Amino acid sequence: MDDVTTDLLIIGAGPTGLYSAYYAGFRGMSVAVVDSLPELGGQITAMYPEKAILDVAGFPTVKGRDLVAGLVEQAATAHPTYLLDRTASTLEHRDDDVVVTLDDDTRIVAGAVMITSGIGKFSPRPLPAGEGWVGRGMEFFVPSFAPYAGKDVVIVGGGDSAFDWAQHLEPLAASVTLVHRRDAFRAHERTVAQVKDSNVEIITNAEVTALRGEAHLEEVEISVDGQEPQTRPAQALVAALGFVADLGAIQRWGLVTSKRHVVVDTAMRTNLPRVFAAGDITDYPGKVRLIAVGFGEAATAVNNAAVALDPTAHVFPGHSSEG
């Protein structure tokens, strides 16, 4: 894989990483952003895209996915290089650079690194019956709706993502069946009501017990209340069962950590040269893990990284409105 060379590498494309990318552009840095998920937005995208967030400054209420869309638009001004669906595995120093390797062997040579990896790398919770079916009709994410047009789609799960995708796929799929193992849902009430009112068939107290097909998925077996399974046609299955988080390789980079978090000073510096951190991943006395706090730390970290890259630069950037 080719090397990527950048002034600032951001590890984690959650709200903190996206705002850091904007800020890096504002400070005139080139910026690359890596995330192990195939979509931008971190915990917001993975866990609560439909939730109304009430505590982001300047927005009395903002839906998760709208906040992410705004952050992505703002970050676009920095022309970031996004390296998605890839996990940062190693970090080492070479002369004045920090070199990070991803799990697909891409090497990124950066002047400085910013760790905004939140609660760690998310991995989708597996669907036991779906082993071996990823890419053959089963997915964990629905990044675009068009590939589902005209298909019989089964969605497994009862959270925001499951209901959100059911709602969006219903108008274009041949059929949408939502299968959930309980009869209560974690998704936003209004979305649940809208989906119940649509052509989506909701099967509760149920589980998908088998996937079948030759090269590609053709049908699934669904068992209700542990009864004899029924077979249904399905050319696509979305396993929206949530995610598990794991700090993973970051723990082996020689960073000082405290209870699975990276310790930083008031400039958001870690113990490693030219390696900064911001957002949920950081720890210091009085730390509060909120989106608003991550934004503030991002600005502090990037402005201090600017000085690490160019000692003649000032920490205070001036005001964006003056630019």
Where on the chain is the footprint of ligand FAD (CB under 6 A)? Answer: 11-17, 34-37, 42-44, 47-48, 53, 55, 87-88, 116-122, 248-250, 279-280, 289-292, 294
Q: Which is nearer to ligand FAD, 80 or 279 (CB)?
A: 279
Output the smallest distance, CB 222 to ligand FAD, in A. Answer: 28
- Bridge-based pairing of strands 107-115 and 219-224 is unpaired
CA distances from 121 to 23, 46, 88, 239, 250 (A): 23, 11, 9, 18, 10
Q: Which is nearer to ligand FAD, 4 or 200 (CB)?
A: 4
What sign results for the dihedral spanned by CA atoms 241, 62, 296, 68?
Answer: positive
Output the smallest distance, CB 17 to ligand FAD, in A. Answer: 5
Output the smallest distance, CB 218 to ligand FAD, in A. Answer: 32
A 10 A CB-CB count for 147 gives: 11
Q: For the chain, give the number of residues.
A: 323
Q: How many angstroms from the chain centroid is the CA of residue 179?
A: 24
Output the smallest distance, CB 13 to ligand FAD, in A. Answer: 6
Phi, psi of 247 (to 5 degrees): -60, -30
Output the smallest distance, CB 279 to ligand FAD, in A. Answer: 2
Q: Which is nearer to ligand FAD, 117 or 235 (CB)?
A: 117
> Among residues 85, 59, 86, 68, which one has the least CA distance to residue 19?
68
CA distances from 63 to 40, 49, 112 (A): 15, 7, 32
Q: Which is nearer to ligand FAD, 148 or 163 (CB)?
A: 163
Output the smallest distance, CB 170 to ligand FAD, in A. Answer: 24
Can you tell me which residue has the tokens 């990284």?
A: 305
Q: Which is nearer to ligand FAD, 21 or 176 (CB)?
A: 21
Q: Which is nearer to ligand FAD, 37 or 262 (CB)?
A: 37
The whole-angstrom separation of Cα 197 and Cα 201 is: 10
